[in-house]
């Protein structure tokens, strides 16, 4: 098969991206237990929470407290998300946060306006200030995310030229600010990607930022998440964001029986990689334990498939925990 | 991209494979309504029910009644499943059944014993009788299914040599009985396939039965269903079984929040094909309506993703029905 990577790294988003859209009120103890269970699986990076306006995202109001409650495991990075300087300051003031120098861009102008109150170009320009803020803190620029890199519900499929625009801006920012971007994430924020666009946009990113490692942040909103992951693996992509048990998405919108699916599922993705002969460094039985813990905490059936079927084994299905 | 097919044909299994593992008691009216809704989507073949021992599968005890209740649409085949001559006779006695000359083989010896009370070889030999029975009825041999073509929960991953054994038997049967098999289905009966084995076994099937069209019957038990479908599309496979809303699987086994997932989801697969530029002849909005009807009938959240997110559109998500 085409250029499969030698190994794959998966970064966990469930505690943040998952819990931020669940109802508020889950205990610090439960959420810390989940993070600790995840840290036991071989995951090296776990996004724990976001430092954002508690009036807008009450689920994350106790982010600092959650970080303080976690028994950290050496070798694991416990990261956070922030959207503005205030959030970044809060993160910096929380000792347990492992700070990451991430930049964010948007390929969808409408989505940028809706999320940030300004268009994609203005938001891109604002990233200059972040380069400076990170430098002031002695943080390396670690990655850049291009959100809605494939499409968004407001604009539909985002034309490749828009993505190219974001990528060229990043290349120019590198030259202006004198840094070299280590990682470029193509983020399929609301699940618009499909295998052809995955291939084409990975190729585009490699053309315009040839020195950057490519990462993918995929959503399974329309059922194409795993097919998209396969397409990316076949292009040699070795870095993915995912959520335990497929947390994330939108449980409040949609139909009587629940809303749209969220991030691709960490353990299902790890299983795909392992089945393809690509090591992930992750302990699948422990990932399944963490997924089932998440399900017990959340209290409804979660999206993951492997968690409900168990691992294959010649002696029969793995007994559920 | 590699050899994508020019168009894809999807055969619907939900009414049979889905309802056979749900609790008994769903009304004829509801199940007929679902079949009729499915027939409105462009699907050309729908497996309605099975003619099997009502003591073992009470959900299918009223198969004949269900067939009789359906308002059939011209151009659509309403098929049935049978496991023995008694079931076949019942199907033949039910006027609305569109009979299909299918043969069944097993790559897993243990699974064959569990399902049929005899090993894979003895079961293969029994298919000679079926060739005769079909001939007696004037039915062409339409297809052969190799069940557990990738693995099973009793034997684990089935070695390719076992599959080759089944395929060589079929080739010999063709010569002995003087027919040419039009379609060979590789059936991933309990979800053991992964993209590499998908590719390799399609190649093996083409090597040993070069004149047969290849079809796939995939399960999403462990979350790899759509990745497997993509791998198959990339090998030019143009024929798939699937279930509306991802019906099928095993809701009674597993954890507090439900059991293992089932067949790959008809509408999600159709969406993948359409996104890849491969026409299916199916009406996606109508498929979503049928999926949501299935969900209302069954009364719990079903597995399909697109049904819960809606179709992408530039003006925003399709409004739920």
pLDDT, tens digit, for every residue of B216-249?
Answer: 999 999 999 999 999 999 999 999 999 999 999 7
Of A230, A260, A305, the CB nearest to B220: A305
Contact A182, A161 (CB under 8 A): no
Residues whose CB is less than 8 angstroms from the CB of residue B56 and which lie 6 or more positions away in sequence, other chains included: none
Contact B257, A302 (CB under 8 A): yes
Contact A180, A219 (CB under 8 A): no
State both tokens at B288.
Answer: 């979503």
Q: What is the DSSP letter of A15?
A: I
A9: left (phi over 0), alpha (psi -120 to 50) or beta: beta
Shortest CA gap A3–chain B (Å): 13
Contact A112, A123 (CB under 8 A): yes
Q: In terms of domains, do A76 and A150 share one?
A: no
Its domain, for residue B20, covers: 7-99+243-321
Of A192, A199, A220, the CB nearest to B305: A220
Active site residue A250: yes
State both tokens at A287.
Answer: 């990932």
Q: In terms of domains, do B180 and B230 share one?
A: yes
What pLDDT score was predicted for residue B2? 67
Per the prediction, chain B carries an average pLDDT of: 93
Q: In terms of domains, do A169 and A196 share one?
A: yes
Let me know if residue B1 belongs to a domain.
no
Question: Model confidence at B302, in pLDDT bands (50, 70, 90)?
Answer: very high
Let me know if residue A294 belongs to a domain.
yes
Alpha carbon distance B310, B123 (integer Å): 44
Of A222, A268, A296, the CB nearest to B223: A268
Average pLDDT over residues A179-190: 95
Alpha carbon distance B146, B149 (integer Å): 6
Set of chain A residues whose Cβ sits within 8 Å of the Cβ of B258: 301, 308
Of A260, A300, A310, the CB nearest to B257: A300
Q: In terms of domains, do B107 and B162 share one?
A: yes
Pairing label, strands A101-106, A77-82: unpaired
Interface touch A277/B313, C-beta < 8 Å: no
The single residue listed with the structure tokens 């009370």 is: B117
**Predicted confidence (pLDDT) per residue in A136-171, tens digit:** 999 999 999 999 999 988 889 999 999 999 999 999
Question: Model confidence at A255, in pLDDT bands (50, 70, 90)?
Answer: very low
Q: In terms of domains, do A129 and A235 share one?
A: yes
Average pLDDT over residues A177-206: 96
Per the prediction, chain A carries an average pLDDT of: 93
Residue of B nearest to A301 (CA): B257
Interface touch B224/A259, C-beta < 8 Å: no
* Interface predicted TM-score of the whole assembly (ipTM), two decimals: 0.83
Average pLDDT over residues A65-86: 96
Of A226, A301, A312, the CB nearest to B301: A301
Interface touch A255/B295, C-beta < 8 Å: yes
Alpha carbon distance B117, B111 (integer Å): 9
Average pLDDT over residues B37-54: 96
Set of chain B residues whose Cβ sits within 8 Å of the Cβ of A309: 191, 221-222, 254, 259-261
Let me know if residue A1 belongs to a domain.
no
Structural domain ending residue among the three candidates B182, B214, B240: B240
Q: Is A40 helix (H, G, I), strand (E, B) or coil?
A: coil
Interface touch B255/A320, C-beta < 8 Å: yes
Contact B264, B240 (CB under 8 A): yes
What pLDDT score was predicted for residue B321? 38
Q: In terms of domains, do B132 and B227 share one?
A: yes
What pLDDT score was predicted for residue A321? 38
Let me know if residue B2 belongs to a domain.
no
Average pLDDT over residues B18-41: 96
State both tokens at B147.
Answer: 């069940």
Let me know if residue B199 belongs to a domain.
yes
**Predicted confidence (pLDDT) per residue in B71-115, tens digit:** 999 999 999 999 999 999 999 999 999 999 999 999 999 999 998
Which of B218, B222, B250, B314 to substitute to test the interface with A, most A CBs within 10 Å?
B222
- For residue A221, the domain's CATH number is 3.20.20.70
pLDDT score of B176 more than 90: yes
Q: In terms of domains, do A37 and A80 share one?
A: yes
Residue of B nearest to A267 (CA): B223
State both tokens at A319.
Answer: 């007994």
Residue burial B230-259, b: 16+ Cβ < 10 Å; e: rest: bbbbbbebbbbbbbbbbbbbbbeebbebbb
Of B231, B255, B320, the CB nearest to A255: B320
Q: How many CB atoms lie within 10 A of CB A41?
A: 27
The sign of the CA dihedral A122, A128, A130, A133 is negative
Set of chain A residues whose Cβ sits within 8 Å of the Cβ of B285: none
State both tokens at A186.
Answer: 């193509």
Q: In terms of domains, do A180 and A111 share one?
A: yes
pLDDT score of A16 more than 90: yes
Which of A155, A229, A308, A311 to substitute to test the interface with B, most B CBs within 10 Å?
A308
What pLDDT score was predicted for residue B317? 44
Alpha carbon distance A317, A212 (integer Å): 41
Average pLDDT over residues A197-223: 97
DSSP A174-197: HHHHT---SEEEEE-TTS---HHH
Domain count of the fold of chain A? 2
Give, in order, the Cα–Cα distances in Å from A75 to each of A10, A44, A104, B62, B275: 14, 7, 26, 60, 41
Shortest CA gap B145–chain A (Å): 22
What pLDDT score was predicted for residue B258? 65
Residue of A nearest to B223 (CA): A305
Q: Pick the more confident residue, B42 or B254.
A: B42
Contact A10, A216 (CB under 8 A): no
Average pLDDT over residues A85-99: 96
**Predicted confidence (pLDDT) per residue in B258-284, tens digit:** 677 789 999 999 999 999 999 999 999
Residue of B nearest to A264 (CA): B223
Q: In terms of domains, do A95 and A110 share one?
A: no
Residue of B nearest to A4 (CA): B196
The single residue listed with the structure tokens 């040699």 is: A236
Residue of B nearest to A222 (CA): B306
**Closest to A47 (Cα-Cα) out of A66, A61, A28:** A66
Let me know if residue A256 belongs to a domain.
yes
pLDDT score of B257 more than 80: no
Q: What is the DSSP letter of A14?
A: I
What pLDDT score was predicted for residue A2? 67
Interface touch A227/B196, C-beta < 8 Å: no
Set of chain A residues whose Cβ sits within 8 Å of the Cβ of B219: none
Q: Please name every residue paired with B146 in a beta bridge, in sequence order, or none if there are none.
A: B105, B186
What pLDDT score was predicted for residue B109? 94
Set of chain A residues whose Cβ sits within 8 Å of the Cβ of B312: 151, 153, 156-157, 192, 222
Question: Model confidence at A188, in pLDDT bands (50, 70, 90)?
Answer: very high
Let me know if residue A310 belongs to a domain.
yes
Q: In terms of domains, do B105 and B217 share one?
A: yes
Interface touch B230/A304, C-beta < 8 Å: no
Q: In terms of domains, do A106 and A236 share one?
A: yes
Residues of B annotated as catalytic (active site), given as ranges: 250
Structural domain ending residue among the three candidates A209, A240, A271: A240
Question: Model confidence at A260, in pLDDT bands (50, 70, 90)?
Answer: confident
Structural domain ending residue among the three candidates A240, A273, A308: A240
* Set A92, A250, A253, A265: catalytic member: A250
Q: In terms of domains, do A72 and A199 share one?
A: no
**Closest to A306 (Cα-Cα) out of B272, B200, B249:** B249
Interface touch A261/B157, C-beta < 8 Å: no
Let me know if residue A112 belongs to a domain.
yes
Q: If residue A57 lies in a helix (H) or strand (E), which one and from where to where?
A: none
Residue burial A246-267, b: 16+ Cβ < 10 Å; e: rest: bbbbbbeebbebbbbbbbbbbb
């Amino acid at each position: 098969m085409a250029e499969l990577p030698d190994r794959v790294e998966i970064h966990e988003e469930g505690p943040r991206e998952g819990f931020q859209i669940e109802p508020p009120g889950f205990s610090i103890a439960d959420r810390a237990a989940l993070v600790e269970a995840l840290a036991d699986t071989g995951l090296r990076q776990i996004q724990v929470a976001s430092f954002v306006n508690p009036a807008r995202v009450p689920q994350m109001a106790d982010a600092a407290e959650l970080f303080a409650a976690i028994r950290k495991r050496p070798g694991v990075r416990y990261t956070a998300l922030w959207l503005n300087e205030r959030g970044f300051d809060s993160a910096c003031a929380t000792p347990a946060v492992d700070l990451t120098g991430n930049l964010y861009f948007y390929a969808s102008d409408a989505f940028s306006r809706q999320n940030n109150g300004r268009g994609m170009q203005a938001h891109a320009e604002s990233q200059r200030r972040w380069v400076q803020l990170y430098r002031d803190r002695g943080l390396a620029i670690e990655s850049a995310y291009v959100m809605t890199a494939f499409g968004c519900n407001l604009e539909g499929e985002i034309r490749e030229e828009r993505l190219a625009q974001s990528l060229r801006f990043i290349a120019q920012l590198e030259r202006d600010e004198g840094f070299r971007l280590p990682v470029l994430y193509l983020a399929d924020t609301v699940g618009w990607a499909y295998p052809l666009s995955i291939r084409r946009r990975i190729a585009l990113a490699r053309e315009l930022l040839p020195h950057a490692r490519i990462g993918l942040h995929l959503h399974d909103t329309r059922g194409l998440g795993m097919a998209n992951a396969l397409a990316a693996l076949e292009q040699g992509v070795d870095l993915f964001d995912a959520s335990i048990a497929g947390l994330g998405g939108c449980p409040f919108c949609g139909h009587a029986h629940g809303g749209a699916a969220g991030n691709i599922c960490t353990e299902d993705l790890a299983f795909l990689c392992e089945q393809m002969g690509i090591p992930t460094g992750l302990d699948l039985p422990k990932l399944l334990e963490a997924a089932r813990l998440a399900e017990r905490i959340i209290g409804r059936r979660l999206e993951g498939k492997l968690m409900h079927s168990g691992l294959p084994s010649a002696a029969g299905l793995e007994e559920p925990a």
